[in-house]
Amino acid sequence: MSLTQADVTKVATLSRLALSEEESAQMLQHLGQILGYFEILQEVDTENVEPMAHAIELHNVFREDEILESLPREEALANAPKTDGKYFLVPQILSND
Amino acid sequence: MSLVGATASELLSLMEKGETTAVEVMQAHLDQIDSTDSKVEAYLHIDTESALKKAADVDARRKAGEPVGPLGGLPVAVKDVLCTRGVPTTCSSKMLENFVPPYDATVIKKMNAADGIMIGKVNMDEFAMGSSTENSAFKKTRNPWNLEHSPGGSSGGSAAAVAAMTAPLSLGSDTGGSIRQPAHFCGVVGMKPTYGRVSRYGLVAFASSLDQVGPFANDVHGAALMLEAIAGHDNLDSTSVPKEVPSYTVSLDEPLKGLKIGIVKEHYVEGLNEEVEAAAREAYKVYESLGAEIVEISLPNSKYCVAAYYIIAPAEASSNLARYDGVHYGHRSESFGNSMIDMYSHSRGEGFGTEVKRRIMLGTYTLSAGYIDAYYVKALKVRRLIRNDFDEAFKQVDVIASPTSPNTAFKIGGLINDPLAMYLEDIYTISANLAGLPGISVPAGMSKAGLPIGLQLIAAPFEEEKLLRAARMLEKETGWTAKRPTLS
């Protein structure tokens, strides 16, 4: 599975990362090297082994559905790059017509 | 005696006897920051006024005979990955350069409740990704033992702050060795608790199934004291475990009888520095002289841990870091086309540094259609085999000892352009995160070049007490934790 520049471009798009040409070229080299190292795992026999996503066995944790104090609006908006004081502002996502 | 460089227990005893005050202790450490941090560059943010005010409050309570918490006014340096209400929390990233959290992480609340006082926020690898603290967007922290060398990472600032005597205690986080490796590089004690022992609420997430907050200290007792203050179940973190927290400091000085220490035959291979190996073997002899039994064990899958980790951690990171979208908080690009997606991509492209981008890309790739089974699922299966190896090993031994990292502190710039070589530095620490086990690095020697060497001890889940007692035995016998750098 050799990585190509087209793969890098596709993954950058999926990752929502704008990369410069230089970054993209370096990414190809470094990711290729790292992915190559991962091949070592193919030696391991994992037939009938359950994947382990977490170090402790997790159970659902329930609590009473109580109304508690929440973050005041102005504090929730305080770190927003763009706000009108009521909402987070984003670029227009629908066209006018 | 000098207040800076003193241990937590020495400072507490002086304050309790009225021979010094929390304000004097805090001022001495602030002065130490003034005189050393232009060289070490551990601190990102210092709030002198607030620290001194809190110290004065502790003094007033102590004087009036009112209750004072177990951290009794001690200065604590805090890794800039922990949310602190009203105090900038940057994760050493341009993305969060202007982020001021509206809440405290649970460990910060607990530290405050125990009367630990934050002296400042300290540097780290961006979003805790790295092993040298060179991935910070703001500054390069230096190793107090030799300023040309790295303090390790990602909690390099936390380790350097303690080594430079600017705080007796600090907090860091450990996802693949980020507390233990810098502790080894800087000659201090650093501990990663069992997964679930300490709340992750307010710890900015890197890899949620691996991240744990833990203490640094200039002696084992300090680490025990700090861990006791921050450990415990938290309703705000459903992965924290509802299990009672023992009083680690109370039993600390009792040597473990019949201690069985496992040494792993797969560990002593090419790539391990001679002096680091010699220091580890010397420590095993010390334990034997104290009556411990050294048992050779096998962790057959240990050679796969770096590969498994660097699939799993970036996969989780690629998902966790999707939240940085330039909308709710964090950097937003000023120059993008007119689509929402362009806004995301440019904000993230500008806000993240090289290593963070690399890991997001790596994680996105190994999780993507067509590759997920070959990489991510495969790594999760190997993770189970690694955990099974440990479960078997802990049927035979109480703790597993090893070098913390294969080398002493490397030079700044030494590995930064070779990411794979940097990843391989984590070879001894990573498996504890994959398996969720507690681990500690305790000073165990010094190289000829004058760089510290640590010994790592790992135990079964929730055996922190055993780890700390075992580390204390070595400390008491060898005195390595009492060494302080000259900082000239």
Catalytic residue among B79, B109, B192, B466: B79
B238 part of the active site: no
Average pLDDT along chain B, 488 residues, taken 10 residues at a time: 95 98 98 98 97 98 97 98 98 98 98 98 98 97 98 98 98 98 98 98 97 98 98 95 96 96 93 96 98 97 96 98 96 86 95 98 95 96 98 98 97 90 91 98 98 98 98 98 91
- The Cα-based distances of A60 to A57, B211, B239, B316, B434 in angstroms read 10, 20, 10, 20, 21
Cβ-Cβ contacts under 8 Å, A18 against chain B: 342, 345-346, 348-350
Distance CA B16, CA A93 (A): 63
**Total-model pTM:** 0.97
Cβ-Cβ contacts under 8 Å, B309 against chain A: none
State mean pLDDT over A53-72: 87
Cβ-Cβ contacts under 8 Å, B242 against chain A: none
Give the gap in angstroms from C-alpha A86 to the nearest C-alpha of chain B: 12
Residue-level pLDDT at B417: 86
Confidence of residue A92 (pLDDT cuts 50, 70, 90): confident
Residue ranges of the alpha helices (H) in B264-377?
274-289, 305-320, 340-351, 354-367
Residue-level pLDDT at A97: 66
Confidence of residue A85 (pLDDT cuts 50, 70, 90): very high
Q: What is the ipTM of this complex?
A: 0.95
- Could you tell me what percentage of chain A is helix, strand and coil, using 3-state DSSP and rounding each to the nearest 5? 40, 0, 60
B247 part of the active site: no
Q: Read off the pLDDT of residues A28-38 as tens digits, 9 standing for 90 and up.
A: 999 999 999 99
Percent above pLDDT 90 for chain A: 77
**B387 contact A CB<8A:** yes
B208 part of the active site: no
Residue-level pLDDT at B424: 87
Residue-level pLDDT at A1: 56
Distance CA B11, CA B8 (A): 5
Q: Following DSSP, what letter does each residue of B320-340 receive, concatenated?
A: HGGG--SSSSS---S---SSH
Q: Judging by DSSP bridges, how do beta strands B260-264 and B293-297 pair with one another?
A: parallel
Give the gap in angstroms from C-alpha A14 to the nearest C-alpha of chain B: 7
Count of other CB atoms within 10 angstroms of residue A68: 4
Residue-level pLDDT at B488: 64
**A76 contact B CB<8A:** yes
Q: What is the DSSP letter of A42?
A: G
Residue-level pLDDT at A93: 81
Distance CA A68, CA B445 (A): 52
Give the gap in angstroms from C-alpha A8 to the nearest C-alpha of chain B: 8
Residue-level pLDDT at B190: 98
Distance CA B188, CA B155 (A): 12
State mean pLDDT over A68-80: 94
Residue-level pLDDT at B421: 86
